[in-house]
Amino acid sequence: TDGGDEPAPAAAPGRSQVFSTVVDTFLEKLVAAGSYQRFVSCYRCFYKLQPQLTRSIYDQFVSQLQASIKEEIQEVKNEGNLEGLFSLLDKIVEEAKDRKEPAW
């Protein structure tokens, strides 16, 4: 055969897509790190008096935190200069190759 039946190789994800994945993973890890159990341990007295209300406050807090972070990231994306920022980072990395101290 001439290879026409083989599926085309998947394209490597673009940096914007990788960035989105990193942000989503960060949010998952943030929520995991700020678990309900940790929240309760900080507000133990309140939890003992109002466990259902404590859970509701935690759920609202986490939801608002995630929404806020996603909104901020979306604003950066909407500005349309994300690729420009990636290019600027590439330039910094390239200029720092021969340096021994941090590029920043």
* Residue carrying the six token digits 């859970």: 55
Q: Which residue has the higher pLDDT, 13 or 69?
A: 69
pLDDT in tens, 19-78: 888 888 888 888 778 788 888 998 999 899 999 999 999 999 989 988 998 898 888 778
Confidence of residue 2 (pLDDT cuts 50, 70, 90): low
pLDDT in tens, 87-99: 888 888 888 888 7
Question: Does residue 4 have a pLDDT over 80?
Answer: no
Burial readout 1-35 (b: 16 or more C-beta within 10 A, e: otherwise): eeeeeeeeeeeeeeeeeebbeebeeebeeeeeeee
